[in-house]
Chains A and B, each alone.
Chain A
Amino acid sequence: GEDVEQSLFLSVREGDSSVINCTYTDSSSTYLYWYKQEPGAGLQLLTYIFSNMDMKQDQRLTVLLNKKDKHLSLRIADTQTGDSAIYFCAEGHNTDKLIFGTGTRLQVFP
């Protein structure tokens, strides 16, 4: 079945880059997403990438997709304390349904 996996924790120093990784199993995924969840809040869409792309950049965020290895990553440049949150990877098809990963808790320390 469909499965999306992420490491649970990542700790980085303020100003460094963060790289959050995700692997998925469904090769027919059409879209892949990154969501951010701040404490006590719902998920907020950060960015997404179509499966026929291998990179997308949006300000401090860079998404890399290796479709052969079914590997997705999110790089946050110049990480700030406000970036501390849980980051979810998700895959979708041409439907409304998303399959979410377990989430990676990013902690940024001064």
Chain B
Amino acid sequence: DAGVIQSPRHEVTEMGQEVTLRCKPISGHNSLFWYRQTMMRGLELLIYFNNNVPIDDSGMPEDRFSAKMPNASFSTLKIQPSEPRDSAVYFCASSPTSGRADTQYFGPGTRLTVL
């Protein structure tokens, strides 16, 4: 199994541009999570889906952020317009279970730099 796949691994963009981060969860997993990691705030849960349905988006910082999961094998996190303070590493994770959190598998992350 290839594990959780994220693309791109690195993204550099200018302030005001739209950014789309992509995630392919492990096949058969039914929960998907988006996290953001920064030095200042540590690891924050942005949103998570269960069976493609958003369950908790209370961590999404503001309306500039949106996430979708059109099917069980693909999710996107979009930032529009991007700002320098969005610079961070964004992780996607997936889990095969619902109701227990002991098996979240993390992707390698996307390092986003907004100039």
Total CB contacts across the A-B interface at under 8 A: 62
A31 near B4 with CB under 8 A, answer: no
In the complex, whether A24 has a CB less than 8 A from a CB of chain B is no
Kindly state the separation between the CA atoms of A33 and B101 in the bound complex, as whole angstroms: 9
In the complex, whether B109 has a CB less than 8 A from a CB of chain A is yes
A-facing residues in B42-90 (Cβ within 8 Å): 42-43, 45, 48, 50, 55-56
Q: How far is the CB of B58 from chain A (nearest CB, A)?
A: 10
Q: 1/0 per residue A58-95: CB within 8 Å of B? A: 00000000000000000000000000000010001111
A97 near B108 with CB under 8 A, answer: no
In the complex, whether B103 has a CB less than 8 A from a CB of chain A is yes
B102 near A97 with CB under 8 A, answer: no
- Known pairs A42-B91, A42-B93; A96 contacts B99 (CB<8 A): yes
Q: How far is the CB of A31 from chain B (nearest CB, A)?
A: 6
A97 near B107 with CB under 8 A, answer: no
Closest 6 CB pairs of A and B: A42-B106, A92-B101, A102-B42, A100-B43, A43-B106, A96-B31
Residues of A within 8 A of B (CB): 31, 33, 40-45, 48, 88, 92-103
Residues of B within 8 A of A (CB): 4, 31, 33, 42-43, 45, 48, 50, 55-56, 91, 93, 95, 97-109
| 18 interchain pairs, CB-CB under 8 A | A31-B100, A31-B102, A40-B108, A41-B109, A42-B4, A42-B109, A43-B91, A43-B106, A88-B43, A96-B48, A96-B97, A96-B98, A97-B48, A97-B101, A98-B104, A99-B45, A100-B43, A103-B43
